[in-house]
Amino acid sequence: MTRSLEKFIIFLHIQKTGGITIQRILRRELGPSLSTRVLRAVSAERQSLSLEKAASAKRFEDGFFVGHCCFGIQRYLPQPFTYITMLREPVSRVISLYYYSIDNPTAYYHRHAVNKSLEEFALNTQLMELDNGQVRFIAGDEKSLFINRTPIGECNTDLLETAKENIDQHFSFVGLTEQFDQSMLLLYRMMGWSQSSYLRRNSAKEASRPTVSKRTRQLIAEKNNLDVELYKHVHNRFHQLLSRYGLDDEKLLKRFQIKNQMYRALWGIPYEKYDAFKALFKS
């Protein structure tokens, strides 16, 4: 379905899918967002502020909601609503999360990744985000607003079908990290926004990483078998939408990419310096 202007947008930000870039685009198009991170920083209830309170505290000018949360947060947000999100090939997502966590001491998952191999992190860490995490986030949980709490190793096809149904019924847009430029073209078109250039934010350089063995990749895929099936479902849906909106044109994509290369050449370094300046206050 396409998003009508009356619907409040909920951006379900799954870790390591390119969400920081999407947030910047949404702020540019829709104005301020309701961010639990900002609310925690300014609230006198810092330690006790719940996700429910954060969502319910929406200001009039908030254009959308964004957060690392699961399907269900709409219960505390304006109606009618629509979700958007990005998915990533499951094995690549887990690998990216590991190296990001290792390289960033302030990262939430750093303590889970430090002094562990990729295989130990992916297979032995008791994190639900690493056990069909994308299915968990999109399926939702009536008792949790962060992630589905099905015990590790017990996610089943019923949960997968719930995630598929939620996407088909409640998500205006689901992009793919591996096809980021096409995803942005589709997002702009579906939302009725003018096609704009963007800077890819928080995008790790992966070329210098060690090669991950075929065995390790297979083990990660087996642990995230439902995520693999969900990704296939969304991949097919994504390409159908590209065709429907006339965006499966290589020349159109190439023009968009050239435009973005010029934009990054002009603004990339200033933004990198700005991000480095902000990081000084987080250390």
Q: Tens of pLDDT along 184-236?
A: 999 999 998 887 767 665 565 666 788 999 999 999 999 999 999 999 999 99
pLDDT score recorded for residue 126: 92
Global pTM?
A: 0.84
- Does the pLDDT of residue 3 top 50, yes or no? no
- pLDDT tens profile 101-143: 999 999 999 999 999 999 999 999 999 999 999 999 999 999 9
Mean pLDDT value across the chain: 85
Domain encompassing residue 32: 8-280
Give the torsion through C-alpha atoms of 251, 257, 261, 263, to 10 deg.
Answer: 110
Residue 51 lies in a domain: yes
Q: Is the link from the previous residue into 270 a cis peptide, with omega within 30 of 0?
A: no
Number of domains in the chain: 1
Residue 3 lies in a domain: no
Residue 164 lies in a domain: yes
Give me the CATH number covering residue 28.
Answer: 3.40.50
The single residue listed with the structure tokens 């968009």 is: 256
CB neighbour list of residue 215: distance below 8 Å, 6 or more residues apart: none
pLDDT score recorded for residue 130: 98
pLDDT score recorded for residue 25: 87
Taking the C-alpha atoms of residue 66 and residue 6, their distance in angstroms, rounded to an integer, is 17
**H-helix or E-strand containing 68?**
none
Residue 1 lies in a domain: no
Q: How confident is the model at residue 89 (pLDDT cuts 50, 70, 90)?
A: very high
Residue 257 lies in a domain: yes
The single residue listed with the structure tokens 């693999």 is: 228
Residue 2 lies in a domain: no
pLDDT score recorded for residue 138: 99
